Amino acid sequence: MAKHFSEGKGIPYFFYGQSYGFSLIEVLVIRIFYSILGVSDIAIKISMLLLWTLGIIFFYKTLKQLGPINNEWASFLVTVLFIFAPAWAIWSMKARGGYITSFTLTSLITYLLFNKKLNKSMSVLFLIGFLMVVIYQSQPLWLAGLIPIVIYHLYQLKQFRSILFLCAGMAISILLFNFLKADLSSFWSPKIPSLSNLSFESLTTIPNQIYQNLSGSYNYKKFIQPNFITNVLALITILFIFIALALTIFYFIKGRKVSSLFYVFSISVICTISYPSLINDRSPRYLLPLYGYVSLVFFALIMNSKHKKLIKTIFFVTILLGVISMYTFKDHKYEQANKHELLTLIDELESRNIHHVYSKDGLLQWQIIFYSNEQIIARYFSNTDRYPKYIELVDNALNSNETKVAMVGFINPKDTSISMIPIDDRYFIYENPDETVLLDHGFKFK
């Protein structure tokens, strides 16, 4: 998307093939790093890490607005704890249709809400309303926890015009996005959260979903058993959440005087862990907003606690464990990908003058396109996809007598139906398949 944007092939406002997942901000940042480092995976990772770091800075500035002037240590410790949390070990560098955009904008909004010099300004409230719609269009998951904080701020202002300005910002943003989405096709649409999905089973799966998310060790829905340290950290965080929510109920029943923000942030956590029960998909990534709101609860607890030394000790130990855990993620693998073997496959295809391939693996399709810098175009089984032009190009090559094509995929020892060229005992190349062979292997044509 960023490459196409830099080449003047259109402005990719949304993740290809979707009418949600606003990605323009991420595309712009990647485009900048492409101009410096070239089209590469490291350029994407650095650009996303920069955008995520910007969100962390606003998160830290938010905490500084909440705490007393002489309590900057708490803001710093909670922020460092966030940085080394396994939940974000992988996702802090992943360009994935608006997740980091939503995180960063949520941190910006909370900073604006608690900045005493800015939060009464009608123009700032207008901006907050505008950005909330941008979050909704990027990844609305963050709104479940953000809305209680916004409502609390509006209640504190007790001004009807503040609601009007916030709604005006939302209305302008909605109109703008309706214009941008007017001509978008949607290859993939998310399942809408619904009360019909609520069941005893959906509720019982939430604790495991929280655990998997806090471990950060998963690909899509596939959980990867984490190492001992990461596992301990995830369990410690779950224990903290349980204690914090239990204290919320206890304080409320007893009428104990604590900061009202402690209750507000606890509601944000409850709202965030509740919405997965309304979604059929149990992917751990849908709980990515959780750690941010949990961190706000941690901070509010620290501000209301008299045991500062004990809390500091717990934080230092937890941060140390986080540093160790973060280091272990250097060996994390996504799917079956091995970059060295993948580049060998691409080199072999180019040496055989093959620039159009039918891929038997969905992710491999995009990896070949990316790592060959679009010198090799690939398509998957379906005759529709996120970027339909790729299907058209590969199919046109198949129908041309002057262009070589190939079928590629992971080697399956049980498949003896074709004569394969093995690549590093991982991939295979089958040169110049005809349409009958491709149909037999599951490829569909228009």
Residue 25 lies in a domain: no
Positive or negative: CA dihedral 93, 95, 96, 101? positive
Task: State the chain's mean pLDDT as an integer.
Answer: 90
219-223, 248-252, 303-307, 438-442: the lowest-pLDDT one: 303-307
Residue 159 in any domain: the answer is yes
Which range marks the domain in which residue 422 is found? 339-440
Q: Are residues 215 and 241 in the same domain?
A: yes
Q: How far apart are CA 375 and CA 117, in angstroms?
A: 53
Contact at 8 Å (CB) between 398 and 435? yes
| Cα 229 to the center of its chain, rounded Å | 23
Q: Are 71 and 202 in a shared domain?
A: yes
Over residues 332-338, the mean pLDDT reads 71
Q: What is the pLDDT of residue 338?
A: 80
> Look-up: residue for tokens 């485009």?
31
Q: Which residues pair with 14 in a beta bridge?
A: 22
pLDDT at 335 over 80: no
pTM: 0.92
Please report the pLDDT score of residue 402 as a whole number.
Answer: 80
Q: Could you tell me if 162 and 182 lie in one domain? A: yes
Query: With 90 as the cut, is the pLDDT of residue 185 above it?
Result: no
Helix (H, G, I), strand (E, B) or coil at 38: coil
Find the helix or strand (DSSP H, E) in which 431 lies: strand 427-431
pLDDT over 90 percentage in the chain: 67
Look at 43-57, 69-83, 90-104, 154-168 and tell me which has the smallest mean pLDDT: 69-83
Do residues 146 and 186 share a domain?
Answer: yes
Q: Where residue 69 falls among pLDDT bands split at 50, 70, 90?
A: low
d(CA 356, CA 380): 12
Strand, coil or helix: 378: strand
Say what the pLDDT of residue 332 is. Answer: 82
Kindly state the percentage of the chain with pLDDT values over 70. Answer: 96
Mark which of 331, 351, 370 sits at the end of a domain: 331
pLDDT at 336: 62
DSSP state of 84: T
- Looking at 308, 331, 354, the residue that finishes a domain is 331
Number of independent structural domains in the chain = 2
198 band by pLDDT with thresholds 50, 70 and 90: confident
Q: Do 170 and 218 lie in a common domain? A: yes
Same domain, 435 and 326: no
Asked if the model's pLDDT at residue 188 lies above 90, the reply is no
Q: What is the mean pLDDT of residues 72-95?
A: 92
